């Protein structure tokens, strides 16, 4: 059985995206804050003790920057996996304020993560996140321990808790259809 340590990235600086009125996926290009970098550094020793074999990262800047720091500190190979990207709060990719993302998140939470039967929303349902992330994890089942630097909604979609920046959660992968 493979154990994946799903880690939320360090704190990101979304004020930059709001100040520049960046739209859609371009909003995701913001870097970590100085606090975010400190949060990632603080996670190095606890993660080292887990002895991961490699690091997977979302291509989104805040996760990729966090993973790059960990890769250097832990001397581990880093693989960027597109489908580990953040939950999509607006499938039209036209939003330009963080509040739009927060409102979509509140609605998604209120609806249990899924669209009501027969309806569509602008946000990505949790089941979609779970499918795409599960497909990525399946490609790494030859490893015993893998660190995955991703996003809070990714962790939640996989059955985990809402993590604070640079916190991680242990996820033991089960093949589809097997009992936990």
pLDDT at 16 over 90: no
The domain spanning residue 55 has which CATH number?
3.40.50.1240
pLDDT of 180: 44
Residue 180 within any structural domain of the chain: no
The mean pLDDT value for 21-41 works out to 90
Range of the domain at 124: 3-172
pLDDT at 40 over 90: yes
pLDDT of 176: 59
Task: With CA atoms as reference, report the closest residue to 101 among 82, 124, 81.
Answer: 124
Residue 178 within any structural domain of the chain: no
pLDDT at 21 over 70: yes
Per-residue pLDDT band for 23 (boundaries 50, 70, 90) equals confident
CA 29 from centre of chain: 14
pLDDT of 177: 55
Domain count, the chain: 1
Task: With CA atoms as reference, report the closest residue to 133 among 123, 114, 118, 148.
Answer: 148
Residue 177 within any structural domain of the chain: no
Residue 143 within any structural domain of the chain: yes
Residue 70 within any structural domain of the chain: yes
pLDDT at 178 over 70: no
Strand partners, 109: none
Query: pLDDT of 132-170, one tens digit each?
Result: 999 999 999 999 999 999 999 999 999 999 999 999 999
pLDDT of 175: 62
pTM of whole model > 0.85?
yes
For the chain, the average pLDDT equals 93
pLDDT of 161: 97
């Amino acid at each position: 059985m493979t154990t994946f340590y799903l880690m939320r990235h360090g704190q990101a600086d979304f004020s930059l995206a709001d100040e520049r009125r960046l739209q859609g996926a371009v909003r995701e290009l913001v870097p970590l804050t100085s606090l975010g970098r400190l949060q990632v550094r603080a996670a190095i020793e606890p993660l080292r003790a887990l002895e991961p074999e490699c690091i997977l990262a979302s291509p989104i800047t805040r996760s990729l920057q966090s993973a790059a720091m960990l890769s250097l500190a832990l001397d581990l190979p880093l693989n960027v996996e597109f489908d580990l990207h953040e939950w999509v709060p607006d499938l039209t990719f036209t939003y330009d304020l963080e509040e739009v993302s927060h409102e979509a998140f509140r609605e998604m939470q209120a609806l249990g993560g899924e669209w009501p039967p027969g309806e569509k929303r602008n946000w990505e349902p949790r089941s979609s996140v779970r499918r795409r992330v599960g497909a990525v994890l399946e490609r790494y089942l030859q490893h015993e321990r893998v660190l995955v630097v991703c996003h809070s909604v990714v962790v939640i979609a996989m059955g985990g808790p809402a993590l604070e920046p640079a916190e991680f959660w242990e996820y033991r992968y089960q093949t589809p259809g097997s009992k936990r």
